[in-house]
Structures are given as structure tokens and as C-alpha cells.
Amino acid sequence: MKRIAILGNSIVGTKIIEEFRTSPESHQITLVTFEGQLPYDHRLLPDYVNKKIQLSQVLYQPKEFYEECHAQVIMGKEVERINFRRKQIMTAEKEAIPFDILIITDTPADKFPAIKGTTKTGVFSLRRLGDMAKVAESIPFLETVVVRIEGLRGLEMAISLQERGKEVFALCPEERLAASLLGEEASSMIKEALEGKGIKIITDNKIVEILGDSDVKAIKLRTGKVIACQAVIFAGLLPDFRMYHDTPLKINDRIAVDASFKTNLEYVYAAGDICEMEGRDGHAGRMFPPDELLEQGKVVAANLLGQEKNYVFPLMTDMVKIYDISVVVLGEACLQKGSPAFCQFNRDANTYKQLFVDKGILRGAVLINREDEKESVLQMIGQEIDLSQFHVEQNPLEAKREPELSNPPETGYRPDEPQGEGAENGGSHHGEFQQSKGL
């Protein structure tokens, strides 16, 4: 009987257990979780803090599911290290959990930035249920919370805390909100919506120190400003891989895996947000949505059951809801600096579309309040549409192909022609695509 140990709180592990439930082969599966919690969907944490859902709804499956699948669940024990030579998970209580196959889906903690004071009580990681449960419990005692956002990550938690009646500061290290993703018009649209509800936005600044004795009392910014607060929440943190230092496991920024999620060790797999696949730089560092995590679990299980299967990355899709503003991110929507991006902004309708183009090929898009175009834009990205075929004065989904045009318009996107003054100014004209700055 093969012993399979799954390490972490990702729903990848739950899906693997579910896939093995129907297997005719006999396996002994042990799930070792962190934070004293069963695997959960981190995307639901803002709703949990906002009391829109209960803790049980954050968990992907209840305790009874694991019992029905005959999986042993070990919670609440501190994992100290992995002995790869002896194939054992070692706990702080000196208990050894043996395995033949190890599947890593998470790390015990996240890596906080090198800021003095991050070990104080009141400093939290956004994607950890254990941390957000403490925030939820502390709501009656909190007056002011600082959320250090990363791109768009963290904004939904800032909104949840504002709706719970807290003073909220959203701190953005970039010169504007999501500067590497959104043009100036879109950033301003979101900033105005947040500030209209009372959330205070601070851009182009960083925390240099968290003040207080053992508990958080304030933060100090790079500019010298001090903001009194009782909690600091960090979004976009990297997993903390210190447990794997000085081991044979290959780690770059994340655990290196092949297309089957196998690591450099024959008996070790890694999947979820903690792994990186060779040749998939566009996916490195992102937080996978639940459907992709579940598919990764299927691929790992299939390979362990003797079916050779590689993971095929779908086109990236993500959505953030900011009050009544929906932001949909599709494909490779954060290309390297120098890759052109073009935007269409309709202030009256409060809509925005931004296209990311590489060598004339549509690679990604951002749609704000234009969810109805999601599927058609995804189809265009998947087909690698060459936008140089079109003269994009209007929505390229509606643009007509005109390969021969003797007198091109003064506005709009022509990859083979210099951009006009409107493009340099970021483009806020109705119905016209203009080149966006700051991307």
C-alpha cells in the first residue's frame, strides 16, 4: 500500500483526495494542514471578514468529506522540516509522518517584506485563513486598519473592512493604483470609487517600520508620515520556503515543477500557488482561481494513478469587484515594459477596455464594466489575433479589416505608424483606442 502525504491548505490537495476516492487501487492518504484549518478557498476571505459567509463556507469540504474518503487529517501540529532522505515529515513534537509520495500544496507561512516590526501582533497575511480569522475576531477592537495592496489584490479586503465600519488606509507602493496593469483613467475610476466610500488611498509610498511594543500601534511611511492603526494586512506576499532551505528540493522563486507537477525529486510533487512551471513566466506569481487549482489536483492524481497527463494552462482570467465596478483581467495582461497597450474609456458609461499587444498580437485585456465582452475577447486572445490587420478606431471586435488605406485616420491604433498626440496623453476620447502610458 503506497503512502501518500499531502502537505498544505490548498484545495489542490482536496481534489487529489477526491480523485483517489474512485480508484480501485489501495492507498493510504494523509493530509497535513497548517493554521489548524482544513483546505479553504482564499478568494472567499473578504466575504468571511465582512460576515457575508460563515467559516464553514470558506472551507472547500467539511470534515465529513475526508472521513468518507478514508483520508487521515492531521491539523494543529507545527511542521518543522521535511526529511527527504528518510521520506518523513517532522513535527515540532518530534513526530515523524512517513510517506512514499509527497505532494506540497502550500507553505506554513508567507514571507513578509524586510520591514522592522512585521513580527508584532496585528500584522497579517491577506491569503491566510488563520490570519483573517484573527482579524474577524478583532473587529470590535479595531479602529484603523492599513492594507498594503499589490496590484488589485487587497482592495476587496479594504472594502470589507470599510463596510464593517473601520477607518481603512489602502497603501499602494506604485505611483497609482495597479500602475503596471491599468491606464490612468481606469486607476482614477477605481480610486474615486474607493475614496467616495471613505477609504483613504496612499500611492507611491511604502511602509518602512511598524511601530508599537508587542502590538501594532502605528506605521511609519518612507515620507516620514506616521499613521496610527491597530492592524496591518499585507497582500501579494510570497510563500516562505525557509523550511526547504538546505534540502535537495529545487526552488527558484517557487518550487520548480514540470508539466505533470513533478519536482526534481522523483517522489515529490508540488502544485498550486507555491510552484512554477518552466516556460510559463506569465503565470509565475499569480494566485490561481479555484477552477485552475482543482484542475491541477486532477492532473497530479492522474499521474499518481499511472495515467500520463500534463497540465495545459488555460488563458488566465480573474475578476475583482470594487463596489459597483467589475474589473475583468484576461490573458497576459501585464506584459513586459515596452509592450504596447491601448485603451478605450467612456466616462459617461463608466466603462473601460484595455488591450495588451505584443508584436501586433493580442495577448491580454482588462475590461471594466464590460463583462459581456469577456468571452469574445478571450476567443480573440486564444486565436492570437493580429491587430495589425485592423484600423482600430472603434472596438476591435467590431472593426472592419481594411488592408489598403491610403489616408489613415489621425487617431486610433496603427502599429506601423507613429502615434498621435492623443495617444501620448493616455487617450480618454470616447470610442477611440489610444496608447496608454505607464505600462
Average pLDDT over residues 186-202: 96
Residue 39 sits at φ, ψ, to 5 deg, of: -55, 140
How does the average pLDDT of the chain come out, rounded? 86
Q: What is the pLDDT of residue 389?
A: 66
pLDDT > 90: percent of the chain: 70
Average pLDDT over residues 405-414: 34
pLDDT, one tens digit per residue, over 132-145 is 999 999 999 999 99
Residue 170 grid coordinates? 489602502
pLDDT for 377 beyond 70: yes
Which range has the worst mean pLDDT, 93-102, 146-155, 357-366?
357-366
pLDDT > 70: percent of the chain: 85
Residue 244 sits at φ, ψ, to 5 deg, of: -105, 5
Q: What is the pLDDT of residue 182?
A: 87
Q: What is the pLDDT of residue 168?
A: 98
pLDDT, one tens digit per residue, over 229-252 is 999 999 999 999 999 999 999 999
Of the candidates 439, 263, 259, which has an alpha carbon nearest to the alpha carbon of residue 364? 439
Average pLDDT over residues 367-374: 95
Q: How confident is the model at residue 23 (pLDDT cuts 50, 70, 90)?
A: confident
CA distance 377 to 47: 29
Average pLDDT over residues 393-398: 47
CA distance 300 to 311: 9
Q: What is the pLDDT of residue 139?
A: 97
Q: What is the pLDDT of residue 358?
A: 84
pLDDT for 312 beyond 70: yes
Please answer whether residues 95 and 77 qualify as being in contact, where contact means their C-beta atoms are separated by less than 8 angstroms: yes
Q: How confident is the model at residue 341 (pLDDT cuts 50, 70, 90)?
A: confident
Structure-model confidence comparison of residues 376 and 180, the more confident one: 376
List Cβ neighbours of 397 (8 Å cut-off, separation of 6 or more). 373, 376, 377, 380
Residue 78 grid coordinates? 507545527
Q: What is the pLDDT of residue 172?
A: 95
pLDDT for 408 beyond 60: no
Q: What is the pLDDT of residue 332?
A: 84
pLDDT for 180 beyond 90: no
What are residue 331's DSSP bridge partners? 364
- In the chain the domains, ranked by start, together with CATH numbers, are 2-109+240-304 (3.50.50.60), 111-234 (3.50.50.60), 317-435 (3.30.390.30)
Structure-model confidence comparison of residues 76 and 405, the more confident one: 76
Which range has the worst mean pLDDT, 201-210, 386-395, 425-434?
425-434
Q: How confident is the model at residue 183 (pLDDT cuts 50, 70, 90)?
A: confident
Structure-model confidence comparison of residues 97 and 340, the more confident one: 97
pLDDT, one tens digit per residue, over 238-288 is 999 999 999 999 999 899 999 999 999 999 999 999 999 876 554 445 678
Average pLDDT over residues 6-32: 91
CA distance 3 to 353: 50
pLDDT for 404 beyond 70: no
Residue-level length of the chain: 439
pLDDT for 43 beyond 90: yes
Residue 35 grid coordinates? 493554521
Q: How confident is the model at residue 434 (pLDDT cuts 50, 70, 90)?
A: low
Q: How confident is the model at residue 337 (pLDDT cuts 50, 70, 90)?
A: low
Average pLDDT over residues 309-317: 89
* pTM of this structure: 0.86
Of the candidates 10, 104, 21, which has an alpha carbon nearest to the alpha carbon of residue 59? 10
- Packed helices 155-163 and 184-196: angle between N→C axes, nearest 10 degrees: 20
